[in-house]
Amino acid sequence: MDGPRSDMGRWRGSPTTPSPEPEPDRDRDRDRDRRSRRGGARSFWARCCGCCSCRNREDDDWGPEPSGSRAPGSRNRGSSSWNRRTESRGSGVNAAGDGTIREGMLVVTGVDLLSSRSDQNRREHHTDEFEYDDLIVRRGQPFHLVLFLNRPYESSDRMALELLIGNNPEVGKGTHVIIPVDKGSSGGWKAHVTKASGQNLNLRVHISPNAIIGKFQFTVRTRCEAGEFQLPLDPRNEIYILFNPWCPEDIVYVDHEDWRQEYVLNESGRIYYGTEAQIGERTWNYGQFDHGVLDACLYILDRRGMPYGGRGDPVSVSRVISAMVNSLDDNGVLIGNWSGDYSRGTNPSAWVGSVEILLSYLRTGYSVPYGQCWVFAGVTTTVLRCLGLATRTVTNFNSAHDTDTSLTMDIYFDENMKPLEHLNHDSVWNFHVWNDCWMKRPDLPSGFDGWQVVDATPQETSSGIFCCGPCSVESIKNGLVYMKYDTPFIFAEVNSDKVYWQRQEDGSFKIVYVEEKAIGTLIVTKAVSSNMREDITHTYKHPEGSEAERKAVETAAAHGSKPNVYATRDSAEDVAMQVEAQDAVMGQDLTLCVVLTNRGSSRRTVKLHLYLSVTYYTGVTGSIFKESKKEVVLAPGASEQVTMPVAYKEYRPHLVDQGAMLLNVSGHVKESGQVLAKQHTFRVRTPDLSLTLLGAAVVGQECEVQIIFKNPLPITLTNVVFRLEGSGLQRPKVLNVGDIGGNETVTLRQTFVPVRPGPRQLIASLDSPQLSQVHGVIQVDVAPASGGRVFSEAGGDSRSGESIPMASRGGA
């Protein structure tokens, strides 16, 4: 179904145990040096420049490859090539390889990559927010640099720039880039002299729009009548190259500046959860520009063993990221856990951003416990935005998990409409969070460019591993489930039907009800340029009930394992049923209500059964803890309400993550035989944290924030942990505050030092065994430091496990 393209999510021989710092292969380097010395080897200039390929061998023999001393076993984690250090920046190699500098040679004594965050390069490439002092540029766009020479540059001098990535760079694979200066374009790369002033040479270098992304080593070769010189590789001259959504020639190009600002440059966002009727939202710190995050993103590709030659393809890169953000198969970033027991790690609800997770993975090489769908999606947004892909975090409410490729959600009941749980393998998640990323799809027919779904939550395998996508949203919308990648699974998540099957007396099953609007009822994301919620359901599916929507579903179902499912459909009905749940806060009593309406002209008698249980957001339910049975007589055109009150003391012992409950309602109309069935999920809300800024925020100056929380429960919260972080404000910080009594109010204060100006988000969470999913956020408008400094090297501590005394405690 995926077509001839090989799977880009897995490569043979990729590491299965943490190995963040491999030893260098010295034998390989010696072999490469020997090859470069062979008399029959093609010269450097013959390989890079056609006009130089006819010179005699004496003129063309440039000697050995770049050399320099390596620190034993050293490699910058996340970098894409070995660091080669030299004793001094000005030393180099000549044609003889002995380091002798002869009179008249053109020697590069230094390089200025103009890599400061305030320099032209970083501003023009939209990388000035990265908390790095290295040169970070985007492909398909020029950058500037200055070479310092031992003498003025002359017209007879020849010069080439080189970029190398990987352990075995090759010109043919794009991992060894050679750019002759003032010699025209070379595979989309070119370099020109913009100014020659004394012994300084200014160059403008244009990057190919198809370049590999990653961290490149940089060197310069010169040649003149006096001899040849090569600048040693120096880690201070390494260059990061990223995808470029500002470049029309890059297949990740986005033709909306406000989209680029939101989906590439915004460091925080909103993630939605809960149920369609009771939508919750939380702010997430993506932190893609925080120091170390870019290295962590590149380290993820290294850990997967992704070939460097494939790292220029966003389809391949996004597929690898979907596999690597979860830990299954490959010891990736996050360990998924839906058990409710998080004692060996962090409750997924307690995370407030991606930075702490990614830096822990980079630092230790071990998968981080624990994640659930919104955490996987938040981290994926961080990684893809960091690498230059326009990405958004998407929530699908009533998201189906189709386990048998039927493209329907099948629920089985016995003769009395009691659920047959041993047959109910499909599940409907209250919500599921994944990602959309924007790119062209040259591997698909025309018409499938644009938003592509990538889902890092490990649900089902794809080509044998736990990854999902990229899948064109347009193919999902039209039910074209034969398009790669993983379209059938994602289509079923958003646009399948819920089919109720009842066992008959002879043991066979019959469809008694089809709920056509139960799956993918609402698909949302954060709006561009605001914190409002945007409904994007229309991009995934045609209007419910429309001819186009029905055609898409039935076309897709024809490719599933049950293509004739609609042939046995029986839809006669004149009694309608609606379920409602009041909005309640954790710790309060609540009331459920079922409304029956007789739309026919005859009296109807309905036998109604209500079963209440707790449920995880993944659709996995606990045992029934309350039930009710009632017979209702409906006159023609009449409506009747059936209520079920639920006290806090009844549901408290049973609550699980997210505070969600599931009401199963089934009924039978005595006169007509009509079957009624409805599953209604609702949640009890948790309180918010109140954050207040105490004083103005200025770059480099200490600032204080106050956090207030009131325990809504009559019981003590034990082992309470706060988390606090915000890009440009505070590195991830964990605060242990001990116990909080029943209905008690607590206040704590924390200081932080802003490092970047502009509007920032400071995000906090609270977690305890008795209460989770408690969050708060405040916008902090940071002024530049006095004296004109835009950035500060100071930063909020990333302290973990600090015990914090309460500033004050109050009663209810």
CB 700 within 8 A of CB 785: yes
134 annotated to a ligand binding site: no
Based on the residue annotation, tell me whether 291 is a catalytic residue of this protein.
no
Terminal Cα distance for the chain, rounded: 60
Peptide bond into 470 cis (omega under 30): yes
Rounded Cα–Cα distance for residues 187 and 160 (Å): 14
Query: If DSSP codes are grouped into helix, strand and coil, which group holds residue 510?
Result: strand
Rounded CA separation 658/710 (Å): 19
Which residue reads 């969050």 in tokens? 775
Q: ∠ CA(348), CA(351), CA(353), 5° rounding?
A: 130
3-state helix, strand, coil in the chain (%, to 5): 15, 35, 45
- Number of separate helices (H) and strands (E) present in the chain: 14, 40
Question: Considering just the CA atoms, what is the radius of gyration of the chain in Å?
Answer: 31
CA distance 359 to 461: 27
Pairing state between β 774-783 and 758-767: antiparallel
Label residues 269-283 b or e (16+ Cβ within 10 Å = b).
Answer: bbbbbbbebbbbbbb
Known catalytic membership, residue 119: no
**Which amino acid, residue 330?**
D
Sign of CA dihedral 151, 155, 156, 158: positive
- The catalytic residue among 48, 52, 297, 373 is 373
Closest CA to 740 of 706, 763, 774: 774
The CA–CA distances, whole Å, from 712 to 5, 476, 591 equal: 54, 43, 19
Q: Which of 125, 176, 432, 775 is catalytic?
A: 432
Q: Is 542 a catalytic residue?
A: no
DSSP state of 308: G
φ, ψ of residue 99 to 5 degrees: the values are 80, 0
Residue 495 annotated as binding?
yes
- Tokens of residue 295, six digits: 């290295």
DSSP state of 188: T
Kindly name the residue from 60, 234, 436, 455 that is annotated as catalytic.
Answer: 455
Identify whether the C-beta of residue 548 lies closer than 8 Å to the C-beta of residue 541.
Answer: no
Neighbours of 550 (CB within 10 A): 16
Give the position of tokens 């710190």: 285
- Alpha-carbon distance of 254 to 246, in angstroms, equals 7
Name the H helices within 279-390: 293-304, 314-324, 355-364, 373-387
The β-bridge relationship of strands 660-669 and 675-683 is antiparallel
549 annotated ligand-binding residue: yes
Residue 644, Cα to own-chain centre: how many angstroms?
41
Evaluate whether 310 touches 316 at the Cβ level (below 8 Å).
yes
Q: Is 313 annotated as a binding residue?
A: no
Binding-site members are 495, 497, 544, 549
Instruction: Point out the residues that are catalytic.
Output: 373, 432, 455
Binding-site members for Ca(2+) are 495, 497, 544, 549
